[in-house]
Structure 1
């Protein structure tokens, strides 16, 4: 009788679990199953729930096709696969941000796509030849910088779906992203090349918006560089003496390029920089950026997302050209976070909104495309002596520490790079 009771109890438990997972599979899978389904590895912290989900996955697969047995090399167990279908041609079920209380760590988290090495660097003063061992160990000179249709496939989608945006596609739908990515051509040349007749080096200035630049008279020095990077609300008119007037590369998101003319109109900002031959770099921080990108390339108005009915091309003042338009790769952004700016905030429940600033991504883009980098308008130790933005002539506002950016961590990194002679950071003592 006791065995009968145990058998009945076990049967009821199996039935309840079966009903639970049938419902579950109609929506999204629990976190511990995703690495198994993607074929890329396992979530650290596997528990019994993984075993149950794995069983249901195999059960569903085996019910629709002939079975082949294959060994899972990470566990030594056998599991069932379909002979003509794999995670490489099917999108994995959507992974939910709500399933994590902190940044998830996967066993492939610090593995990145890298492009073929460029020609040997002949610049004697290149930052790539830094003697700093910590920097050299972390720095990947050939990290994949840009995404395009030829380096994107289902296997990549499944891998990157384990990471929240802008580092991946967690909670995004494959069709919405692919409809934009399939339009991106492969860049025909590197972002920057040495200037003809120069010293063979690529000299770059990266200009932030910090109040330290107001009254600095750094404009001529900034413009003397081969190339000048700017981002976000790059107010120039009326501030040329302090910030220069040349822009070679403008880095932005769909949000920053649309909101800057609104927020900074009191300071004279009217549009994104649009120098002749300028190169634009988009940070795809969310789904709205892929909607933006799709409409931009096709020359249409946006039919969905936050910017419905907007015409993206209108924001580039006639300088949009897909041969000079680049989209940052998710691996590059995750690499910047993981190896240089992994904030302690990622251990909190706000982890999914925490990321480096657009300025940080821009500075690292310069570090990977230039030989020498000078940074202006970035936060320094005495930031409290200056206004938040250099464009604030009339009133001085204090730096606002939003939860999504670890500004102090970034400030400390720029100072350490300066001290190690990796970059030249503009600093001043007077307010």
Structure 2
């Protein structure tokens, strides 16, 4: 009995020892001969490591006929590498401005909480970004910050349709409407804050070269206060759905519609890419929760593919990491917090326009006014958990005081009880 038990134990130990030997030898042989197993995965891993450890940047061509291409430069990482504080580098959208006093010079002189101001961070996504290299760099980042959980094919099918010049630049009005040389391009970014109610800012807003709006941009009945024009409407698929559901009774059924209106997607979910594809092809959505829904369902009209633009995850991640980083961001889930749609629109304007006015955004006395200019009774604004509106409010005042933008403020008595 003793001998049998001893032999049994020895055999067991021998099996364990043999397993360890095979593992060690296998690892050594794999490294020695560098077997090309799973090349796609290996390429993706090396690209991701290159992004984090060596600050990898894509060199993106801006226009097919551009003679000069802006090359990438190494930029210091200011936050934990898993936040993705490294970005592509492109020719700035304002590079062709003829304004003698571009505001971007002022932006570069300011101190930013998350690190250096980067004028060449890419703002828009288009067909040139539909590559395995860009995918590998963006795949680790969640929600609007990258392509985590999305397939390269889903992303590429949408982006390859954004191949026109109009998809690559933010300001693309017809030549007969573009400002003349030496003219400083003016942009008004119009929020939905109650401060605009009875403000009589409509004509001032419409006088700008470009007018940006977002979310529940209700115009009918409020033209004297908020104007009539919309050149750019910023939204995400979920944000648009929420606005249609929450503010239908207030008058919001579809985004603004006009010949000059462009639709700027903020891609938070897969649904945004599926909708871009449907809009560009003028077909039903063919995948995801919105499958079989028409473009008319979302926009109330068909939309020409040239009128579509899409924000680049690099730009959105850059805003979160450097321009308005939330306290203890590295200790919190980074995929939850993101700048608001209004903040994205404001910085898109700051990266494209020469003079920027923002109206309908939070000010120091915002509580004097209702949440929205279309409210029938007073309602105090509530702050969603995924944004930091207190921080944004402070930033708008700081930029106003620095002369970078013009923030609309009011010091008169509350007007929320007045009839529309």
Pick from 385, 398, 403: which aligns with 2:380? 398
Residue in structure 1 matching 2:354, options 371, 374, 379? 371
Q: Distance in 2 between matches of 1:219 and 1:286?
A: 34
Q: State the partner residue of 2:46.
A: 37
1:232 pairs with 2:241: no
Q: CA deviation at 1:250?
A: 0.9
1:222, 1:420 → 2: CA distance?
Answer: 22
Contact kept, 8 Å, 2:99 with 2:183, in 1: the verdict is yes
In the alignment, is residue 421 of structure 1 matched against residue 403 of structure 2? yes
Which of 261, 274, 295 is 1:278 aligned to? 261
CA deviation map 1:76-121 (0-9, x unaligned)? xxxxxxxxxxxxxxxxxxxxxxxxxxx9624962332323676554
- In the TM superposition, residue 376 of structure 1 has moved relative to its aligned partner by 0.4
Structure 1 position 323, deviation (Å): 1.4
- What is the correspondence of 1:46-195 to structure 2 with a 5 Å cutoff? 105-106=81-82, 109-115=85-91, 121-130=97-106, 133-134=109-110, 138-188=116-166, 190-192=169-171, 195=178
Alignment of 1:282-321 (within 5 A): 282-318=265-301, 320-321=303-304
| Mapped contact 2:80–2:330 kept (Cα < 8 A) | no
Q: Cα distance, 1:348 vs. partner?
A: 4.6
TM-score (norm 1): 0.74
Find the residue that maps to 1:242 and give its secondary structure. Answer: helix
User: Given that residues 372 and 423 in structure 1 are in contact (C-alpha distance below 8 angstroms), is that contact kept between their aligned partners in structure 2?
Assistant: yes
Unpaired segments of 5 or more residues in structure 2? Answer: 1-11, 27-36, 56-78, 415-420
Count of residues paired in the alignment: 361
How much is the aligned-residue C-alpha RMSD, in angstroms?
3.4
Instruction: Assess if the C-alpha contact under 8 Å between 1:227 and 1:247 holds in 2.
Output: yes
CA distance in 1, matches of 2:321, 2:107: 22
Judge conservation of contact 2:98–2:182 (CA < 8 Å) in 1: no
TM-score (norm 2): 0.76
Judged with a 3 Å threshold, the aligned counterparts in structure 2 of structure 1 residues 133 and 14 are, in CA distance, closer, same or farther, namely: farther
Q: Separation in 2 of the partners of 1:223 and 1:212?
A: 18
